[in-house]
Amino acid sequence: MKTTLPEPAGLIEGFEETYREQSARFSGAGPAWQPVHTVYVPADQVTATTVDEWGRAATELLHEHLFSPGELPALCGLDPDLAAPVHDRVRRKLRSEPVEDLRIDFEDGYGRRPDAEEDRHVESAAEAVAVMARAGTLPRRWGLRVKSFADGDPVRSVRTLDGFVTEVLRRAGALPPGFTVTFPKVLMEGYLGQFAHCLEALEGAAGLPECALRFEIQVEAPQTVAFLLRSADLVPSLGGRLAAAHFGVFDYTAACGLPPHEQRLDHPVCDHAREIMRIAFAGTEVELADGSLAASPASNSAKDVHALWARHARLVAHSLSNGFYQGWDMHPSHLVSRYATVYAFHLAHYEEYSARVEAWEQRREAGGGVMDEPATIRTMTAALARADHALSDPAQARGAP
């Protein structure tokens, strides 16, 4: 064909460098395994049997108030045809792997304590981790939440982190896989670089490999949302240490001036904040996680337990429909509604997506008037990968990356 420009390549000066930067920032890799939840337990309450205790408590609630799958559709809003397979999966999950991600909390759930008391709880929590690691009961993802630098005492925060890592290394002999640190209330962007520097220094002093210590930030204030939008270089500036961003619903809605009865995950201001998080971390390998429901059953009556499950299931479904595949669980009862809703979400369209992807790969029509675009196929392929991770056999779950 005839063209007008003599040499287009000469007009695109610097393309190679820009393309290399794009490839480095936005990997385009498919979704890796990500826990469906993070369970937060105050540091003074963590023992080597905590995970087992949560599993037993959730199982007892399931057996007492949801022994058969018949009530699942009404409680969790799922297709009646999925009730039996979902119920069976929940039962098996609670028995074999009730907690996928455990966070030992030294922040809001723990509160301010005298230094000597917090030091003692650092040691007892590290011992619990070491015992679980030896017993094979330590969740695939685990770690601690330190106090915020925004509270004005970063030394206490770093001391807890240092002591915890040091004690785990001493008692377990190595840092078990899956470790991460939660860094809350990041009101100033500068705190991120300062905390990353502390992690790097601790790695060197403890003889750990580079980037063995990674962290997740909590998005809990409008100030954080503001700097996420303006800081295009945030993720690369942290040298691969930023693993995830978790939304903190109660601090965020309080900072926005919402009254207590409107401090909920499905409030529009929370949807807006999550959308900013999605934009800020789009295309990166930073995981996104939603917040929690700060409620437990009002009593052990079937009415109150079912009400809690229904309420929690609606919020989990809202998160999933908005592309947030992980959230916080604060009470053993949440495990039932969490897993039931997650399994139903992934099973509902699994066969449909598989058939449409197969039709695309075979260059034939999917049928039913569907005309899939390449972007839709990529989305369905990613959805199938997430479903495979979430629906993996609990007996084989610990073999996942």
Question: Are residues 358 and 343 part of one domain?
Answer: no
What value does the mean pLDDT take over residues 190-217?
97
Q: Are residues 207 and 324 in the same domain?
A: yes
Strand partners, 245: 217, 288
Residues 375 and 303 both lie in one domain: no
Domains: count for the chain = 2
Q: Which pLDDT score, from 0 to 100, does residue 396 have?
A: 62
Mean pLDDT of the 21-48 span: 90
**Is position 164 within any domain?**
yes
Task: Name the more confident of 170 and 398.
Answer: 170
Structure tokens at 241: 């240490």
- Identify the band that residue 401 occupies on the pLDDT scale cut at 50, 70 and 90: very low
Give the helix ranges, DSSP H, for 136-248.
154-172, 190-206, 222-230, 234-237
* DSSP annotation of 362: T
Q: Residue 212's pLDDT is what? A: 96
Percent of the chain surpassing pLDDT 90: 81
Q: Is 274 among the domain residues?
A: yes
Please report whether residue 289 resides in a domain.
Answer: yes
Question: What CATH number has the domain bearing residue 315?
Answer: 3.20.20.360
Q: Each residue of 271-283: pLDDT tens digit?
A: 999 999 999 999 8
* Portion of the chain with pLDDT greater than 70, in percent: 98
In this structure, are 244 and 374 located in the same domain?
no
Domain end among 311, 328, 348: 348
Per the CB < 8 A criterion, the answer to whether 216 and 290 are in contact is no
Residue 21 resides in a domain: no
What is the per-residue pLDDT for 368? 72
Same domain, 61 and 127: yes
CA-atom Rg of the chain in angstroms: 23
**For range 305-311, the mean pLDDT:** 97
On whether both 365 and 274 belong to a single domain, the answer is no
Residue 8 lies in a domain: no
The reply to whether 16 falls in a domain is no
| Beta strands, E only, 43-196 | 101-105, 141-145, 179-183
- Is 249 in the same domain as 114? yes
Range of the domain at 63: 30-348
Total-model pTM: 0.93
Q: Establish if 4 belongs to a structural domain.
A: no
The pLDDT confidence band at residue 371, using thresholds 50, 70 and 90, is: confident
pLDDT reported for residue 397: 53
With 70 as the cut, is the pLDDT of residue 163 above it? yes
Which residues pair with residue 242 across a beta bridge? 215
Both 50 and 124 in one domain: the answer is yes
Task: Answer yes or no: do 253 and 374 share one domain.
Answer: no
Res 10: pLDDT = 79
| Residue 399, CA distances (Å) to 94, 121, 172, 332 in order | 17, 31, 20, 24
182 and 256 share one domain: yes
User: Using CA atoms, how far apart are residues 138 and 131, in angstroms rounded to an integer?
Assistant: 8
Residue 217, domain member (yes or no): yes
Q: Which of 316, 331, 348 is the last residue of a domain?
A: 348
Q: Are strands 101-105 and 141-145 parallel, antiparallel or unpaired?
A: parallel
E strands within 297-373? 327-329
CB of 110 closer than 8 Å to CB of 43: yes
- Position of tokens 């981790």? 129
Helix (H, G, I), strand (E, B) or coil at 281: helix
For residue 82, what are the CA distances in angstroms to 45, 76, 182?
A: 36, 11, 35
190 and 68 assigned to the same domain: yes
More confident residue, 366 or 355: 355
* 302 and 195 in a common domain: yes
Q: What is the mean pLDDT of residues 25-36?
A: 84
